[in-house]
Amino acid sequence: MTSMQRAVPPTPLGHLVFVLHTHLPWVLGHGRWPHGEAWLYEATAECYLPILRLLDRLEEEGRKGSITIGITPVLSEMLATPRFRDGFLAYLEERTNRAEADQREFDAAGDDGRRRAAAAWSDFYGGAKADFVETYNQDLLSAFTRLQNRDRIEIIVSAATHGYLPLLGRDESINAQLATGIASYRRSFGRRPRGIWLPECAYRPGYIWSRPAGPARAWLRPGLEELLGRHGIGFFFVDSHLVAGGAPIGTYEDRFKERRLDAARDGTGLSPQEPYALSASGERKVAILARDPRSGVQVWSADYGYPGDGAYLEFHRKHGMDGLRYWRVTDRQLPLREKVPYDPDAAKERAAAHADHFASLVLETLHEHQEATGRTGVVVAPFDTELFGHWWFEGPTWLEAVLRKLEGHVDAVTASDFLAAHPPRSTIQIPEGSWGQGGHHYVWLNDGTRWIWEEVYRAEDGLIDALRATRSRKDPTVRRIVAQLARELLLLEASDWPFLVTTVAAKDYAEARVKEHVKAFDRLRTMLERAKEGTLAPDDAAWLAAIEERDSPFPDLDLESWTLEP
C-alpha cells in the first residue's frame, strides 16, 4: 500500500505516538568548534526552533494531533543559562555574516544559483534570531512549557546527564540520576513528569550482576522498573526486539557493519502495536511502549532511510572551514567533491512524498494489527530530535507534513493520553538491551571504552565514601566541595562519552572530557581532605569557584539523592 487514498478509513484507525528525544551533553565551557558549544547552537537553530515553529503553526490552524518530546535535564539546564543565550545570539550573527560574505563571493563569480542559496541561509538565520528574540523571548523552556500546558505536547524526563543506567555500578547512582533529573524537570516545566526516556532506550532487569570493568563482585540488583516505580514514573520506551523478539533494528547499527553482533532471539508473539506493563514492587506497574520497526527503519536506516535521498541537503560538504552547505546528497556513494548543487524545491517535493509514504505505512500497520487482533493499535515512532533539521535538514518539513496527512485518519496522541485510554492488558518480562548496535550494550561497553567504566566505578565509590565521611559536617566549603564532586560524577556518567569514542565521530573530544571530569573529581577529593582538616591551599578557593562556574548544572543538587529512597 503506497497511496494515502487507498488507506483512509472512515474513522481513526488507531494511534500514533511520535516521540522526539532531545539531548546534548553539557558543553558550556568545554570548547566551541568543531566539538563543544557549537553543537548546542546548531541544534537550537536547525532543530529546536523549527520544531517549535511547526508546533505553533499547527496549533494556530486548529489542527489536532500531539507529540511527545523528551528534553533531557542536562539540556534544560544549558538552555536556561545566560551563557547559552549570549552564545547563541553571537552564533547567529556569525552565521549571518558568513552567508552575506558567501553572497558577495558568489555574486562576484557570477554564480547566481549559489548566490540565491546564500541569501536563503541569511534569511534562515535571520528568521531564527527573530523567533528566538521576539517570538520566544530568548526562553525556549517557557515555549515548550506553554505547549505542554495546552496539551499540544507532553514533555518527558530522562536521567539527569543521560547516564547509561544499566551499566552504572551502584543503585545509588541510578537513583541520583533519576532524582536529580526529576527535580530539574520540575524546576524547568513546573510539574512532575509522567514518563521517562531511558538513555539509549537501555533497560536492565533485576538479576545477580557484577561490574563489567575493574574488580568484580556480584550482588542482586533490582530491575530499572523498580527504581522508576519508586519515583512515580509511569512509562518508558524500548526497542521492538525487547518485546517482540527477532533481530534488533538498532539505531547506530549501520556504523558497525563489520562488527555486527547477532543479537536476534526467537519471536515472542507479542506486538509492538500494544502497550505492556512491567511489575515493580507492590501494586506499582510501569508501562512500556515499543518502537515500531517498520516505520522506524524508514527514517533510521543509512541504506534506504528517507534522509539519504539524493535530493536532500548534503550534511558533510561545506563551503570552506565550518562553512555553509550548498550541495545535495546526490548519491550517497559519490565523493563529496562530486555532489551537485542543492535544489530546495526538489527537496520539498521529496519530503512531501516521504511523508505520504510514512503516513501510508502507519495506516497499513494499524490496519493489519486490527485485522489480526480486532483491537485498536498504536505505532510508536521515537527519534532523536537532532535528526530533524541538523542531520536531516528537511526533517521538520517532513514531520509537519506527516502530522497534517494523518489528521482525521490516525489519532496522534501523547504517550500519557494513549496509556490513559488504552492501559496495558498484559504484564510481561523483557530482557536486557538497548536500541544500539546488536540490541545490547556494545556501543557503550567494548574494549575501547572499558577504561571509561573503570573511572566511572572508581568515582561512584569515591563519592559514596565522601558522603559518608561528611554527612554530619556543616562547613559550607565542605558542602560545596562534595556537591561539586557529585556534579563531576554526573557529568562523567554521561552515555555520550563512550558513544563518541566508539563511533569515532568525536573520539578525541570525548576522551578529553572523561579525563577532565576525572581530573576535577580527583582534585576535589584531595581538597575535601584538606578542607576537613582546615588546611586548604591558597589557590583552592579560586579553583573551586572556577569549576563551579564551568560545570554548573543542577544548582539545587540534593546530595541525599545518593541514597536508595526517593
Residues classed as catalytic: 200, 384
Between 58 and 284, name the one with better pLDDT: 58
For the segment 315-360, what is each residue's pLDDT rounded down to a tens digit?
Answer: 999 999 889 999 999 998 999 999 999 999 999 999 999 999 999 9
Asked if the model's pLDDT at residue 246 lies above 80, the reply is no
Containing domain of residue 198, as a range?
4-211+218-439
Residue 247 pLDDT: 52
The reply to whether 143 and 239 lie within a common domain is yes
Asked if the model's pLDDT at residue 266 lies above 60, the reply is no
Q: Which of 375, 406, 439 is the last residue of a domain?
A: 439
The one-letter amino acid at 283: E
Residue 301 banded pLDDT, cuts 50, 70, 90: confident
The reply to whether 409 and 496 lie within a common domain is no
**CB-CB contact of 19 with 381 (8 Å):** yes
Backbone angles phi, psi at 132, to 5 degrees: -65, -45
Q: Which three cell numbers stand for residue 502?
A: 566508539
User: Taking residues 363-387, what's their average pLDDT?
Assistant: 96
**CB-CB contact of 139 with 133 (8 Å):** no
Helix or strand (DSSP H, E) at 417: helix 415-421
Taking the C-alpha atoms of residue 89 and residue 91, their distance in angstroms, rounded to an integer, is: 5
Asked if the model's pLDDT at residue 255 lies above 60, the reply is no
The reply to whether 521 and 375 lie within a common domain is no
Q: Which of 405, 439, 473 is the last residue of a domain?
A: 439
Place of cell 490516525: 410
User: Taking residues 71-75, what's their average pLDDT?
Assistant: 99
Helix or strand (DSSP H, E) at 443: none
The reply to whether 61 and 162 lie within a common domain is yes
Q: Which of 377, 410, 439 is the last residue of a domain?
A: 439
The one-letter amino acid at 522: D
Residue 378 pLDDT: 98
Asked if the model's pLDDT at residue 489 lies above 50, the reply is yes
- Tell me how far CA of residue 536 lies from CA of 300, 419, 476, 524, in angstroms: 53, 55, 13, 11
Residue 9 pLDDT: 45
User: Taking residues 495-506, what's their average pLDDT?
Assistant: 95
Asked if the model's pLDDT at residue 110 lies above 90, the reply is yes
User: Taking residues 529-537, what's their average pLDDT?
Assistant: 89
Taking the C-alpha atoms of residue 83 and residue 3, their distance in angstroms, rounded to an integer, is: 48
The reply to whether 428 and 334 lie within a common domain is yes
The reply to whether 114 and 261 lie within a common domain is yes
Q: Which of 424-428, 434-438, 462-466 is predicted least confidently?
A: 434-438
Q: H-type helices in 231-324, by residue range?
A: 240-244, 293-300
Taking the C-alpha atoms of residue 196 and residue 288, their distance in angstroms, rounded to an integer, is: 10
What is the DSSP secondary-structure string of 160-182?
A: TT-B-GGG-S-HHHHHHHHHHHH
For the segment 133-184, what is each residue's pLDDT rounded down to a tens digit?
Answer: 999 999 999 999 999 999 999 999 999 999 999 999 999 999 999 999 999 9
Chain center to CA of 179:
18
**CB-CB contact of 206 with 431 (8 Å):** no
Taking the C-alpha atoms of residue 295 and residue 504, their distance in angstroms, rounded to an integer, is: 28
Residue 563 pLDDT: 87
Please name every residue paired with 209 in a beta bridge, in sequence order, or none if there are none. 219
User: Taking residues 291-320, what's their average pLDDT?
Assistant: 92
What CATH number is associated with residue 512?
1.20.1430.10
Using the Cα atoms of residue 76, residue 80, residue 81 and residue 82 in order, give the sign of their dihedral.
Answer: positive
Q: Using the 8-state DSSP alphabet, how is residue 291 labeled?
A: P
Report the chain's mean pLDDT, rounded to a whole number: 92
The reply to whether 174 and 313 lie within a common domain is yes
The reply to whether 484 and 427 lie within a common domain is no
Backbone angles phi, psi at 38, to 5 degrees: -60, -35
**CB-CB contact of 336 with 133 (8 Å):** no
Q: Is residue 445 assigned to a domain? A: no
* pLDDT over 70 percentage in the chain: 93
The reply to whether 161 and 274 lie within a common domain is yes
**CB-CB contact of 70 with 382 (8 Å):** no
Taking the C-alpha atoms of residue 437 and residue 502, their distance in angstroms, rounded to an integer, is: 11
Residue 280 banded pLDDT, cuts 50, 70, 90: low
Task: Count how many domains the chain has.
Answer: 2
The reply to whether 355 and 486 lie within a common domain is no
Taking the C-alpha atoms of residue 21 and residue 197, their distance in angstroms, rounded to an integer, is: 7
Q: Which of 135-139, 385-389, 529-533 is predicted least confidently?
A: 529-533
Residue 10 banded pLDDT, cuts 50, 70, 90: very low
* pLDDT over 90 percentage in the chain: 85
Asked if the model's pLDDT at residue 54 lies above 90, the reply is yes
